[in-house]
Structure formats: structure tokens, C-alpha cells
Structure 1
Amino acid sequence: MKKSDVELDGFRAYLLEKGKREKTVEDYVRHIANFHKWLQSEGGDLANLTRYDIQQYVKHLQNKGNKATTLNLKFSAIVAYARYIGQSHLVENIQRPEIRHTRHISPKSLPKNDRNRLFRELERSGNLRSIAIAYTLLYTGLRVSELVALNRSDIHNGERSGHVIVRDGKGGIARTVPLPSEARYHLRRYLETRKDSDPALFLSNFKKRISIRAVQRIFEKLGVHPHMLRHTYGRELVSSGIDIATVAELMGHSDVNITRRYAAPSLKDIEEAVEKTFG
């Protein structure tokens, strides 16, 4: 085993002891492994880390086109690693790109015509799993990471009502979300095709629990990002008059201000208003 492997194993154990979620731990370890590869290519090493190395790596990521949000996630992993080795001073005053917040514009959701096209094309494909995934995402507002983690036992699918239990949402927040009849119908149809005993709600083509990437690929083929279904869910609830606090609870937001974005006009709304005024 290489020395760097031993260091990463120790870092992983340190993060778990600090109570970090498993997915966060794996992301941080991956980011540090990539940082280590870059260091080696530049003649550096994790064992002899310097503040200069970290600043140069940040510049390297910027030059590669990493957005501020992506870069800051990778920097957070380096901050955790610096604490792990007892050298927090290495990450002090590191220059990073500023994250610009645009909370005054609603996140991009799917217009009704695009929604109709999406479900029409999915239904024509005849793929019951893809159809069930799309209806579940749109009608519950789940994150893709939450969807792939679901087990069959998390779905309560009655004739007149139903709900889905999200046991480990973002930030460790558990919640129960109503499951509308259309989503229940398509889930029931998909599950009727399953002859296995795997607890996972959705399986891949290889009969394993489906991955986030596999779900993303389903929608990429249709020109849609799956997270847009979540944004559509939030926007539709707010537009229907559901109070912000309830929408925040349904969507698993720890900060109600994140939910308030769905009450803001979308970029399309603004464009149409400007066109109507000046066009």
C-alpha cells in the first residue's frame, strides 16, 4: 500500500469520526486524491504540503474552468485535510473566486410545454422504470441523490393515498412527502415488473441499485436536467398558494430563504414582462 493511500484512509476515518455523511466523506477523499495527483505532477506531496501549493492549485482549478461553487467544494475538502494534519494555517487567506448569489430570480423549472414533451417521449419509449422515475421526481420534488437511495419499504402506495419517506436527506434531514395518484400509478406499474427481492426501489440495467449518473443519463437523452423537475415541484407549489414554510419542509430545505426563490419571478417571466413593456 502506498503512503498516500494510508494518508487517505486516515483522512476518511477522521471525517467519519467528525460525523460527516458517507457521501460527503467519499467526495472529500476523492477531491484530496485528485489534489495529491496534481501535487505530484508539480513536484509536491501531501506529506510536505505548503500554503503556496494550495493557492496554486486553486488557480489551476480556476484556469481549468471550475465554477466558484465547484471550486469551493474542493477547497472545503482541503480545509478539512489541513485540520486533519493539524495545519489549519495552510488554508488561511487563500484567494478564491466569489460566489455570486442570484436569489432574486427563481431557479429554472420546466415550462408546461416542455413537461408535456418530456412525459410524451417517455411514455412512447415504453420504459416503465424511466417513466416512474420522472413522475416520482416531479410529483415529490426529491433530489436525485434521495431518489436513488430509496428502498421499496420507503414507499407507501395505497389506492387513495400514499407517501414516500426520505430517511437521509441533505444535511441529514428526514421527511415524509405525499405521493400523488399519478406517481403511485406509475410506481405500481414498474414494481409489478420486478421479480427480484432487492430492497432498492429502482434498479439499473445491471440489476444493481441505480446510480445518480444513470438517472441523469435518462434525462440527458431528452435534453432535460433532472434537478429541473425538483425546481418545477417547488415553483408549482408556491404558485398554488402553499405557504413557504410548508414547501420548505416538503423539499427538505434547512433554510426557508432557499425556498423563497420559488416565489421570485423566473428569468422567462422577466423577459416576457420586459418584452410586453417595451416590445
Structure 2
Amino acid sequence: MNKEEKLTAYQLALGKAPLSANTKRAYASRVAAFLEWLPEGADLASDRDFVIRDYRQHLKDGHRSPSTVNSHLDAVGHLCLTLGFGAPSARHEHLPQASPRALEPKEQTLFLRSAEKADLSRDRAIGLLGFYSGLRVAELAALNIEDVVLSARKGTVTVWHGKGDRHRELPLHPEARKAVNEWLGDRWFSESDALFINRRGGRLSSRSICEIVVQLGTSVGLEMSTHTLRHTFGTNLVRQGTDIVIVAEMMGHSRLESTRRYSLPSAGDRVKAIAGLPVEG
């Protein structure tokens, strides 16, 4: 098959593949770019790995980032499998590792102030519970009133069906306990058992919770999400010296490798490292 025939055959097969529309569009574009680059006479059937190695170098020479190079190689690999050329063995680029995006200390202060000033005690409770417990947004949305046990001096929140259907129980930070208690006092009437409800009395959706957290951040100039709060929780635990096994349990991780990411340096750490170098004179 010539280049045009390869592209046509791939596009027909791609249309039937069990992939999202966005993935199909991305793969189609990247495969078209690869076939345009492909030297005349190059044989993917016999020289597949050598050709892809050269294409990887071509992308790197064009100053493409490692993640971009890898996304193109993924698309080319799918082309090879789809057209029966086999799975390529050419290596991908190493991606620099960094900790997940978490709020820096000054940003944490801004967020906490924003949460404290929230118009609704519900929104304040969502912000502080997310910050001090690291719950996933779906876990926050799934909480029922009975999942939060409060007393004058302590409190707990129970996640019954976390990721992987994992159960965990977390102690509540005093500020989170106070905020949840205030919300329970203000909570408007509803027949729903949900902890967080909307004005109509229905369970607040994950999307609505995300919007509340984003707004709390936006009001003080922060670009963030519920994921940012979760990552901040994990990063704070690791950096205060909490045992990694305990952090994994509190985060609901099934693998320690997921938790160890929080001990990796952040972009801010790298900036501070350079800024701390001595200046001559």
C-alpha cells in the first residue's frame, strides 16, 4: 500500500475502533503527520522499528516535548497494529517526574480565607472538608449525613465505596468538623440522606461540587479544582513526615507507588532550590 492507501485504510478502521471521539481525532491527525513524513520506499512491515526510531528523532529535532513525542508514537503504534504490522518495540521518551499539582503554602492560606468567607455554610464545609480530608469529588458527593460523626472534641468521616470500592475512615480536622457542624445546623429541609444538597433538596452532584471549589479558588485568584485540594492534602501529610503507609491509607490508595508521587519535587521546589544558590559578592 502507498501512503494514501495506508491512511484511507487506517481511517476506515479507526472509525470502528472503541475509542472516544477526541482520541480518534488526535490519532487521525498524528498518523497523517507520520505518513506525510514517511520516506518513500520505507517498509513498515519489515523496517517498522527502525522507521519509528527515526520518526521519534525527527520529532525531537523539532523540539517537541517528551509527552508530545510519546502521544505521536502511541498513534503510530496504533496504526501499525491496525494495519497488521505488529506492535512497535521502539522506546518512548522518559517523562520528568514531579509531584501532583498542590497549593503552595501562601495559596493554601488564600484558599482557606476564601472558604471562611463563603456565603453558604455548605460551600465552606465542602471547601474545608476537601482540604482537610483529601476526599475525591465523587466521594464528597456520595457522603450521607450518617457518614459524618461529630462530637464536641472529635469527628470522623467514613467513605464506604471509594475508588476500587475501598472503605476508609478518617478523623476530622477541627476546622473541618466545625464547618460541617455549622452546615448541618443551616441545612435546609430535605428528605434526602445526602450530606450536601442543592436548593431543591436533591443530592449535590460531583460537577456542582467541582464548580463550588473552583469558585472558591477563583475568588482569590487561584486556578484549582477538587483534584488540587486532594493533592494538597497528600502533599501536606508527606511533608510533615507522616509515614507513607498511613498516607496511602488516608488517601485510599491501593498501591504505595501512587502515594510516593507526593514526595517528588514540585516546580516550586525547583525554583526555590535555584533561588537558594549563593550569589558571588
TM-score of the superposition, structure 2-length normalised? 0.65
1:136 Cα offset (Å): 0.5
Change (3 A) 1:250 1:64: farther
1:264 Cα offset (Å): 1.5
Corresponding residue of 1:220:
214
* Pair 1:233-2:230 in alignment: no
Corresponding residue of 1:259:
259
1:52-108 C-alpha deviation (Å, 9 max, x unpaired): 63299644144689x99xx9xxxxxxxxxxxxxxxxx9899689xx79755x31111
Which of 179, 193, 197 in structure 2 is aligned with 1:199? 193
Corresponding residue of 1:112:
105
Whole-angstrom distance in 1 between the partners of 2:145 and 2:94: 40
SS at structure 2 position matched to 1:277: coil
Output the amino acid matched with 1:220. V
SS at structure 2 position matched to 1:182: helix
Output the amino acid matched with 1:186. A
* Pair 1:176-2:195 in alignment: no
1:150-185 C-alpha deviation (Å, 9 max, x unpaired): 111111111112111101111111111111111111
Corresponding residue of 2:132:
139
Change (3 A) 1:125 1:156: closer
Whole-angstrom distance in 1 between the partners of 2:107 and 2:17: 44
Output the amino acid matched with 2:229. L
* Pair 1:163-2:156 in alignment: yes
The gaps in structure 2 that reach 5 residues or longer are 1-11, 31-66, 72-80
1:278 Cα offset (Å): 7.6
SS at structure 2 position matched to 1:183: helix
Structure index of larger Rg: 2
User: What is the alpha-carbon root mean square deviation over aligned residues?
Assistant: 3.4
Output the amino acid matched with 1:267. A
Whole-angstrom distance in 2 between the partners of 1:52 and 1:124: 50
Whole-angstrom distance in 2 between the partners of 1:94 and 1:220: 42
Shifted more, 172-181 versus 214-223: the winner is 214-223
1:119, 1:131 within 8 Å by CA — same for their partners in 2?
no
Output the amino acid matched with 1:170. K
Corresponding residue of 1:209:
203
1:263 Cα offset (Å): 1.3
Whole-angstrom distance in 2 between the partners of 1:170 and 1:109: 21
Corresponding residue of 2:25:
60
Change (3 A) 1:170 1:191: same
Change (3 A) 1:64 1:217: farther
1:248, 1:254 within 8 Å by CA — same for their partners in 2?
yes
Output the amino acid matched with 2:111. L
The gaps in structure 1 that reach 5 residues or longer are 1-48, 72-88
* Pair 1:149-2:142 in alignment: yes
1:131 Cα offset (Å): 0.5
Output the amino acid matched with 1:161. K
SS at structure 1 position matched to 2:254: coil
1:117 Cα offset (Å): 1.6
* Pair 1:128-2:91 in alignment: no
Change (3 A) 1:94 1:219: farther
Change (3 A) 1:196 1:109: same
Shifted more, 203-212 versus 127-136: the winner is 203-212
